[in-house]
Amino acid sequence: MQTVVIVMALSFARAFLEGELPAGSVRVVPDPTVKRHRDQHLAEQVKRILADGQDAVVNAPSRSTRRAVILAAAGQGARVIGYWARPSEELGMPGILDYEPEYSQLNRRPRKTEGFDVLYEVVNPELEYHLREL
C-alpha cells in the first residue's frame, strides 16, 4: 500500500526525516508561481506521484492543505500518516508568521478524524525525538 506522509512542523532534524519518512518517497513542494488554488495544485501533484507508484511527503501546515491532500490520497487508496510538532518557543513564531501566515495553524493540534490513518506528535523534533500517537 502506498503512503502519503503529511508533515506539520516548522522544522525536523535530519535524523527524524531519515528515520521516519518512507525511503525513496517524493517530496511535494508548492509551486511558488501558483497563487490561486494552491491546495488543489498540491493534491494533483500527490495524485500523480501515487499514480507513478511512489510514496509522497507533503509539508501541510494549514488545515485546508491537509484536507486537499488527504482527499487526494484517499481517492488513490493510499495510507495517510501525519507527523505534527508543536512550534518551539525558541523559533520565534511571530517572525515566521510575517512571511508564512499559514504556519500559525501549527499551534492547533491536528486530529486523527481529519482523515489520518495514523497521527503522531513528534516530541523534541530537533534533538533525540520520540513519537506519541494522537
24-42 pLDDT, tens digit each: 899 998 777 777 888 999 9
Domains of the chain, CATH where assigned: 3-133 (3.40.50.300)
91-133 pLDDT, tens digit each: 555 555 554 555 556 667 899 999 999 999 988 766 677 889 9
Confidence of residue 57 (pLDDT cuts 50, 70, 90): very high
CB-side neighbour CA atoms (13 Å) of 130: 1
pTM of the model: 0.84
Mean pLDDT of the chain: 83
* Residue 105 exposed, middle or buried by CB count within 10 Å (0-12, 13-18, 19+): middle
Say which residue the cell 501546515 belongs to: 61
pLDDT of residue 117: 97
d(CA 17, CA 7): 10
Query: Where do runs of H (alpha helix) occur along the chain?
Result: 14-20, 38-51, 63-75, 93-99
d(CA 101, CA 120): 23
d(CA 133, CA 113): 13
